[in-house]
Amino acid sequence: MLFNSIEFFVFLPVVFGLYWLIGGKRIKTQNLLVAIASYVFYGWWDWRFLSLILFSSLLDYSIGIALGKTDKPSNRKLLLWTSICVNIGFLGFFKYYNFFVESLVDSFTFFGHQLNISTLNIILPVGISFYTFQTLSYSIDVYNKKLEPTKDFVGFMAFVSFFPQLVAGPIERATNLLPQFSIERFFNYKNAVDGLRQVLWGLFKKIVIADNCAKYANIIFNDHTEYNGSTLLLGALFFAFQIYCDFSGYSDIAIGISRLFGFDLKRNFAFPYFSRDMAEFWRRWHISLSTWFRDYLYIPLGGSRGGLKMKIRNTFIIFIVSGFWHGANWTFIIWGALNAIYFLPLLLANKNRVNTDLVAEGKYLPTLKELGQMAFTFFLTLIAWVFFRADSVGHAFSYLQHIFSASLFANIELFPSTILLLLLFFIITEWLGRSGEYAIEKIDFMNRPMRWGFYVLLIVLMFSFTGEQQQFIYFQF
């Protein structure tokens, strides 16, 4: 069920009405409704995969209970590794089995040997990477005694399958979201209004910006040899805004819907394209995933506490694993390695924490230095996105080769001026609202007629520029 579908616009008000009709004093009944609604929401794609979510919930709930009953180190380690191996095993089978088989066959073929191993016709369950990491965070935090194991299985099921963020995040930590299922929740009008406002902005980003950029990005990427370098650069630009508005739009909708039900989810994006270096970019992009890898992989590996070799090793591990998390293709691994190369000089020079404040805080315009830093960081990101979008490594290198040719300075062959104007409107709005959690959070400074006029403008633009409905990009991850 897509957020931007008719089915969801029927589903959400029904669940919302029943949820608050029950009332905050009947927490268990509310949690049961959330769990049932979440299973209906997920089962709308393919009900067969509901068994995977249920199994993950049963597994990690049981492991949490068992961890709470033993202090013996060997038993606790066995329980933790059971959770890790089973969860990662399921993720690995569904997402990476064919990739490993194909890579193995190709390797043997390269050395003149033929292997007779067949791939399987495996359907990737939507959002498996997200809810797998969410349940793992529970097992790891209980093991590290950062969280008491819950005895409320219904509440735990609701935590694992919480429908607003189930299939594309944010990846919630058990320490943040799970306790919210055990406390009384009250309807808060101000939070609900703020939530609806964030939903509206998320839908605008998805429907108007992401889906329309996708149209032209697909045309250019799918037939890149027919276009000159300047047009290919424009195609990369379209994809950069497609993936940002698609994914951050989903996060905005998820966070906003959660507020309607009295839940607070973690922020997932913080205006990453206004970053002044790559370290700042990764503090602002897909925050829930980057912090997950930092806390559960990078720091346990030693982080940046060791010598030069350890710093380099850990940096490459964290970025390559992050790339591989996104998909079973060498393009994602190269994308991760390229970002490690971008990030490493800052880490080694101890400059990865230079830009932690808000760019041009309290000002309408950045300085020339800040503008240059943002432009350079965005350009590096743009090059990396080519690998993320390309169908294969060969496709990515061919695309880049055609960009950096003499035709880079030729006239653009595909120039959709209307979409570029919409992008300009979007960038200006994001820039002016960069001090908020999302771009239009602080729109209350406008008087009511102006504010409602802006809301109406967004709605009119959504209806005017609704094209072919596109699935959210991160559903495939």
Q: What is the CA radius of gyration of the chain?
A: 23
Amino acid at site 49:
F
According to DSSP, residue 329 is labeled S
DSSP string across 449-460:
HHHHHHHHHHHH
Q: How far is CA 475 from CA 42, 302, 386, 410, in A?
A: 12, 32, 19, 37
Catalytic residue positions?
326
Handedness of CA 245, 250, 254, 260 (dihedral sign): positive
Query: By C-alpha distance, which of 198, 199, 215 is closest to 422?
Result: 215
Q: Are 4 and 205 in contact (CB under 8 A)?
A: no
DSSP string across 84-126:
HHHHHHHHHHHHHHHHHHHHHHHHHHHTT---------PPPPT
Q: How far is CA 409 from CA 104, 400, 413, 419, in A?
A: 42, 14, 12, 22
Q: How far is CA 350 from CA 73, 107, 346, 380, in A?
A: 37, 39, 6, 20
Write out the two tokens for 188.
């808060």
Report the residue count for the chain. 477
Q: What do you get for the CA distance between the two ends of the chain, in Å?
A: 16
